[in-house]
Amino acid sequence: MGTREQRRNGRRRQRRRRSNFPLLLLLLLVVIAAGGLLLNSCVEDENLPAGGDSGSVSENDGGEQEGNAGAPAGGENGGGEDDPSTPPEDADNQALWEGYTIQTMTEEDMQVGLQILVSNEHMYDFPEAAESQLVKLVDHKSSSYTSNVNDTLILPVTVEHLNDMLDDYVAQGGATDIMVVSGYRTYDFQQGLFDRNAAKNGLENAKRFVAQAGGSEHHTGYAVDLYSINNGDYFEGVGEYKWVTDHCHEYGFILRYRSDKEEFTKIGPESWHFRYVSVPHSYIIVDHDFCLEEYIDYLRQYPFDGEHLTYTVGTQEYEIYYVEGLEVPVPESGNYTVSGNNVDGFIVTVEK
């Protein structure tokens, strides 16, 4: 047993311990509540949408599609806060992106594809992706026409549809005297043509009738010049040959340089120069009486995030839209092509 004073001190310590208990209990409850709020916040963050490479266009469904025959596939898409492949989070933009994903292109890709515009104002840099596909015309052409030299180069897609067109021309009664006298041209070859024309006919004549080196459509492999053996002159598209000029758009070709479009093309009329742009674009160009320069401008009215251009050829419906820059929304499935325009962006054509 201790003294009376020791017993009083012991009772005081017990009272102080009992008086501190409610405060400790309150602090414990505060800590538990704070921990619960923190845990709930973490769980909510984990359940937020992740973004990713696709979002969607409910009004402009991309249709069925899988692949891209018009241009290289481009690079890999990365993630991250600033990655344009991540669709916007608001509901309207998510609806726009539904069924689409981003295809990241390069500056070189902008010069590859069926609808590229090449002119003295929009020069061609000879991208390797296109150069590597060139083939010899004589190895792939049909018997409905001839080639003036054995080493004329051209892109396979051009010769395929040229064969179809001239085979049908001959089948309906046309002569077999059409000759391809020019296909693909190198930079140096074009420079030589320009210099010789300037020396013979003067610089102004050369500027009007011969594209500058780097500005010729012949650099692309999509253009051909035709010649009539029977007439001993360049193809004029009159008489029985008029069938080719009138029907070329059905095979994806357009007559590139017309007298009434010189203010846009800056090249004098050439009745023999045909350019492959593919269906349905050739049909639309003819329907609207466009040259290619006008058509490229026209397509800017149909951006990805706006109304898309629709067009039907036979039973096949197409959807077309324009994309500025290098991040190109493409359908997640179905058939489509992506073509650079060689100006500022890309043209996407979707089979519906």
Share of the chain above pLDDT 70, in %: 74
Cα(100)–Cα(297) distance, rounded to whole angstroms?
A: 24
Q: Region 262-271: what's the mean pLDDT?
A: 97
Evaluate the omega torsion of the peptide bond into residue 127 and state whether it is cis, within 30 degrees of 0: no
Please tell me the predicted confidence (pLDDT) of residue 85.
55
Query: What pLDDT, in 10s, does the model give residues 36-57?
Result: 444 444 434 433 333 333 333 3
pTM of the model: 0.76
Cα(46)–Cα(160) distance, rounded to whole angstroms?
A: 53
SS3 5: helix
Cα(242)–Cα(255) distance, rounded to whole angstroms?
A: 12
Please tell me the predicted confidence (pLDDT) of residue 30.
47
Q: Say which amino acid occupies 152.
A: T
Query: What pLDDT, in 10s, does the model give residues 129-140?
Result: 888 999 999 999
SS3 179: strand
Is 270 designated active site? yes
Segment holding 206, helix H or strand E = helix 203-209
Half-sphere exposure of 305 (CA within 13 A, CB side): 9
**Rama region for 204: left / alpha / beta (φ>0; ψ in -120 to 50; rest):** alpha
**Band of residue 31 on the pLDDT scale cut at 50, 70, 90:** very low
Q: Which residues pair with 327 in a beta bridge?
A: 104
Q: Region 314-326: what's the mean pLDDT?
A: 98
Catalytic residue among 160, 270, 317, 332, which?
270
CA distances from 23 to 10, 19, 28, 251, 349 (A): 21, 8, 9, 88, 72
Query: What pLDDT, in 10s, does the model give residues 209-262?
Result: 999 999 999 999 999 999 999 999 999 999 999 999 999 999 999 999 999 999
Please tell me the predicted confidence (pLDDT) of residue 96.
81
Does residue 298 register a pLDDT over 50?
yes
Q: Which two tokens stand for residue 229?
A: 């053996």
The answer to whether residues 245 and 255 touch, using CB atoms and an 8 Å cutoff, is yes
Does residue 142 register a pLDDT over 60?
yes
The answer to whether residues 228 and 271 touch, using CB atoms and an 8 Å cutoff, is no
Cα(140)–Cα(143) distance, rounded to whole angstroms?
A: 10
Does residue 83 register a pLDDT over 50?
no
Q: Region 125-149: what's the mean pLDDT?
A: 94
